[in-house]
């Protein structure tokens, strides 16, 4: 009997002008679900957001627009019901993101547009795999300069990480990066140089942190900047953590945010590509890539970000963000 039901369903789905197609209902929904035809329609997400645009198989697929319940608007490409491809996300206050999306997340190249009258407690500017290029050769360098300039007057504390730290030091203070003889790759020992600074409060005198970069900065160049303080450094990896006296600008040259297996993935990726790469320093037991790596920086990584959020993003930020003054580059 079940084979007869299957045959009847297939007959209904294959007939043009069938009642199920023209009037909807159970059979119409089945046909829509398995249809490969692109059509224009509406779709309501579980949170109540409403999509209008191209659809396939009863889900957003192609170009369309979603109006979210909180007033946010996304207009761009969808694949199987998720934001994927190029799209623009607009917030109610007028700020927006234009760029690439993947699986409903901002992913790839994109540009954030901030409203000039908005102020923020904190901002993180992170890295990019373009460190061997001159900053001015990076496609989005002009846009990044606008963001860094914006941060001086509209953000209380900005945290720059890895390539973002090199970019910030160059833009704000003229500190040039230097190409290294070989990749700085592994987990290196560092020492705290200013234990009274809130950013390193609770740190051990000696701690570990990962690095993965082809360029570095010279300590002498940092020392020449009156506004900067070196809070932690490594005899091998160089300056690790720098800050202005009031914590408005902070620079981290390593990757404390890396999880246990990030260096492992990078190492195996480069080996597979035939690139010149050495085993990450102080990472695998006995330098054996077949053994699980040692996760020895997690506690200090958490403490660094907690201290930043607590002392500079929360405690020191003015209650009225309109009172934020432009960052001073002198003493």
| Residues classed as catalytic | 162, 255, 257
Which among 102, 95, 76 is positioned nearest to 87, based on CA atoms?
76
- Cβ(82)–Cβ(103) below 8 Å: yes
Dihedral (CA of 195, 198, 200, 204) sign: positive
Which among 303, 298, 278, 112 is positioned nearest to 198, based on CA atoms?
303
Q: How many CB atoms lie within 10 A of CB 35?
A: 14
What span, in angstroms and rounded, lies between the C-alpha atoms of 322 and 117? 9
Q: Provide the CA 254 distance to its chain's centre, in angstroms.
A: 15
- Cβ(202)–Cβ(300) below 8 Å: no
């Amino acid at each position: 009997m079940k084979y007869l039901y299957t045959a009847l369903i297939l007959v209904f789905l294959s007939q043009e002008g069938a009642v199920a197609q023209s009037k909807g209902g159970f059979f119409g929904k089945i046909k829509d679900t398995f249809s490969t035809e692109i059509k224009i329609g509406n779709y309501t997400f579980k949170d109540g957001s409403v999509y209008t645009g191209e659809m396939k198989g009863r889900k957003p697929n192609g170009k369309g627009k979603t109006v979210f319940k909180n007033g946010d608007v996304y207009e761009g490409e969808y694949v199987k019901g998720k934001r994927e491809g190029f799209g623009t996300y607009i917030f109610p206050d007028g700020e927006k993101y234009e760029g690439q999306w993947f699986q409903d997340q901002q992913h790839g190249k994109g540009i954030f547009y901030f409203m000039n009258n908005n102020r923020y407690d904190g901002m993180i500017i992170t890295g990019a795999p373009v460190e061997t290029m001159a900053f001015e050769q990076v496609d989005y360098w002009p846009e990044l300069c606008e963001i860094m300039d914006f941060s001086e007057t509209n953000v209380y504390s900005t945290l720059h990480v890895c390539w973002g730290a090199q970019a910030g030091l160059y833009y704000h203070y003229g500190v040039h990066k230097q190409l290294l003889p070989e990749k700085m790759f592994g987990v290196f020992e560092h020492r705290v140089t200013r234990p009274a600074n809130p950013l390193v409060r609770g740190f051990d005198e000696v701690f570990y942190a990962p690095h993965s970069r082809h360029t570095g900065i010279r300590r002498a160049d940092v020392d020449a900047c009156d506004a900067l303080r070196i809070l932690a450094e490594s005899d091998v990896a160089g300056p690790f953590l720098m800050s202005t006296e009031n914590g408005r600008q902070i620079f981290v040259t390593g990757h404390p945010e890396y999880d246990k297996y990030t260096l492992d993935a990078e190492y195996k990726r480069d080996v597979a590509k035939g690139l010149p790469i050495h085993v990450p320093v102080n990472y695998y037991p006995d330098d054996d890539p077949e053994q699980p790596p040692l996760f020895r920086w997690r506690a200090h990584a958490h403490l660094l970000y907690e201290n930043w959020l607590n002392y500079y993003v929360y405690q020191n930020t003015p209650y009225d963000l309109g009172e934020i003054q432009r960052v001073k580059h002198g003493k």
